[in-house]
Structure formats: C-alpha cells, structure tokens
Amino acid sequence: MTTLPTVNQIRWPDRYIPGQAAVFAHNEIVIHAPIATVWRLLIRAENWPQWYPNSADIHFLSHAGPNLRDRSRIRWNTFGTRITSKVLEFEPETRLAWNAHGIGVDAYHAWLLTPLADGSTHVLTEETQNGWIARLGKLLMPKRMERKHQAWLEALRLQAQKEAR
C-alpha cells in the first residue's frame, strides 16, 4: 500500500511554515497517468500557459529553459502579479518547490508526487504566502489560491491523461 504525503512531509523553510504564514493553501488530486508524464508537464514551465491560464509570460533567467531544474530562476505572471521564482527543491518525479517574490508577496510553493499501485500519480501541492498583498488577498478573496491551485491540478490532470492515452 502506498503512503500518501501529508503537510508535515513538505520541507518548509522557517519563514514559510504553515500557521505562521499569512496564507496557506493545500490541494491534491489523483491523475490517471504515469508519474513521468506528470513530472514532465510540471517542470516544462514554458508550456504552463498553454494549459493553465493563471500563468503567463514565463521567462527563464538562469538558463534557456524550457524545463525547470535545480536552482532555475524564472520571471512570470500569476494571480495577476509579476513574480520571480527560484527552484529550491528538485527531486525528479518526487519533489519540486520554488519561492516566489513580487510586490507585496513572499511565497513558497511545494509539490509532492507519489506513484500509486495502479500506475496513477497522486499530486499534493501546498503554498504559503507572506506580505501585504497576501494578507489583503486573504481578506478580500479568502479561497482564491485554493481555487486557482485546484484549477492548476485539474488542468494538469487533463493534460497528463490526454498525453498518456
């Protein structure tokens, strides 16, 4: 039996620990596609806007792309904000995490992928945010990040299952 990841399996840097951050979101999904397919889509950052509309204008700063790798730096738009992110965790087909810095936002976004016995992939994603924009967003749109992350997971599922056929 596969043990699925839980919140305490995310390696949170001290300033991003849930409960201490202004915003915390948790989302997960099962994708009926091999973990290699899910991973390939997740790290191909340049293609996110093709299937996830809350991402746009992605530019690699550290290398030519198109894939994220350890210590990759990208500048991109998400949640209507221009941010710069750096990959801080990169364990192929297992873990991916990056920070995100923009005006009024300091965030950490982590992904855990777990292969399931039937060949499917369990994906857990969590994010914490600090900063005045994060606090304001939580006040005005308290579930926005969870909704957008769920949309991301559902779009990832659709894309991965289409490619796995």
The reply to whether the predicted model has a pTM over 0.85 is yes
Tell whether the torsion through CA atoms of 10, 23, 147 and 99 is positive or negative: negative
What's the chain's average pLDDT?
Answer: 93
Class of domain 18-164: alpha beta
Q: Can you tell me the distance from the alpha carbon of 101 to that of 42, in angstroms, rounded to the nearest whole number? A: 20
Residue 91 pLDDT: 98
Buried b (16+ CB within 10 A) or exposed e, 48-64: bbeebebbeebebeeee
State the DSSP code for 130. E
> For 3-34, how does the pLDDT look when each residue is reduced to its tens digit (9 = 90+)?
565 546 899 999 999 999 999 999 999 999 99
Cis omega (within 30 of 0) for bond into 66: yes
pLDDT in tens, 56-65: 999 999 999 9
